[in-house]
Amino acid sequence: MKKIRVRYFALVGERRGVQTDPYETEAATARQLLHEIELNKKIPLTTNISKAMVNGKYVEWDEPIHDGDLVTLLSPFSGG
Amino acid sequence: MPPGIQDRYARHEKLDFIGAEGQRRIGASTVLVVGCGSLGCAQAALLARAGVGRLLLADRDVVRPANLPTQLLYNEADVKERAPKAEAAASRLRAANSEIAVEPLAGEVSAANIEALAARADLVMDATDNFETRFLLNDAAVKAGKPWIYGGVLGTDGMVMAVGPGKGPCLRCLLEMPAPENRLPPPDVFGVLNAAAAWVAALQAAQALKALARGAADWGRMHTLDIRNGSVTAAEVPRDPACPCCGRHEFKFLKPA
């Protein structure tokens, strides 16, 4: 298991605003991580409407995830 | 010009990224503000007072009681009169700066009129409240080669990114498509702090003034703002060479569904 931190930005349900949680995963890539979180935390994000950052850098969904990473899952705000 | 205000822009002209020449360019510019809600009110107030020569203000709504805490240009009389936001905003801005032109456009911004509006503007300010309009605006701005300044707010958080066609990524380099409305946290459920909206709008206005004065905004740098903790972080969004919008010039949001 890799121990990472996941930073949620503007997600739905109970998770809104900015929130950073410790998280354990076997996901190899950002895409797998998103799918995993979508399944087990019921966050309705898909790769086509959101973006990932790893350790402060925007990445493609196939970016590998390593132990100790900070992964930000971001769905831009629509409010105005 | 009324007597006594010949030096009205003196404090902006002292700024290195504006100066007298930048101020002249700002005065010769036209900016389209799409939406006159919490972001649009604060943006328009800052840009009008900064001397942007012509402001086009688009909004389809009338002023309601729940708008008063967050939408800085309106008052209780506007609520009583059910004043169209674009018109109420225009009258406040004219009172603040009679030297500029302010055009209210009370109606929908859609695929039918966005290109004509963008063609008249040197820069477009995003003050919309939905992603469909933002993708429309992104298509129109990239197609016309005009910069636009993305901004969004929710609760106490916000995001801002300046999009410069040919200079950096566009909204579709970041996101493939607009999220369906039911997947996004709506402001009427989670609220918006007026100070957060003003902060987002202020950062957008600063980006706009940098772009108008010197053509030098922070293109493609996504700022994420967290006013509860008083912090801003920024990171470069990479340009996608295969982007359907700025890469392949397929402007699908401009086409009627």
Domain ranges of chain B: 10-254
Rounded to the nearest 10 degrees, the angle between the axes of helix B38-49 and helix B85-96 is: 30
Which fold does the domain B10-254 belong to in CATH? Rossmann fold (3.40.50)
Given a cut of 50, is residue B21 above it in pLDDT?
Answer: yes
pTM of the model: 0.93
**Nearest C-alpha of chain B: how many angstroms from A58?**
6
CA distance B223 to B206: 13
Write out residues 31-50 of A within 8 Å (CB-CB) of B. Answer: 44-45, 47-50
Given a cut of 90, is residue B82 above it in pLDDT?
Answer: yes
Given a cut of 60, is residue B166 above it in pLDDT?
Answer: yes
pLDDT in tens, B199-253: 999 999 999 999 999 999 999 999 999 898 899 999 999 999 999 999 999 999 9
How distant is the alpha carbon of residue B81 from its chain centre? 26
Report long-range pairs for A36-45 (Cβ below 8 Å, ≥24 apart).
A37/A6, A37/A73, A41/A15, A42/A13, A43/A8, A43/A11, A43/A12, A43/A13, A43/A15, A43/A73, A44/A12, A44/B183, A45/A11, A45/A73, A45/A75, A45/B183
pLDDT in tens, B44-80: 999 999 999 999 999 999 999 999 999 999 999 999 9
Given a cut of 60, is residue B37 above it in pLDDT?
Answer: yes
Which residue from B159, B148, B152, B171 is spatially nearest to B217, judged by alpha carbons? B148
Write out residues 101-160 of B within 8 Å (CB-CB) of A. Answer: 126-131, 134, 150-159
Which residue from B53, B147, B154 is spatially nearest to B101, judged by alpha carbons? B53
Question: So what's the pLDDT on residue A13?
Answer: 46
pLDDT in tens, B131-158: 899 999 999 999 999 999 999 998 888 9
* Domains of chain A and CATH, by start: 2-74 (3.10.20.30)
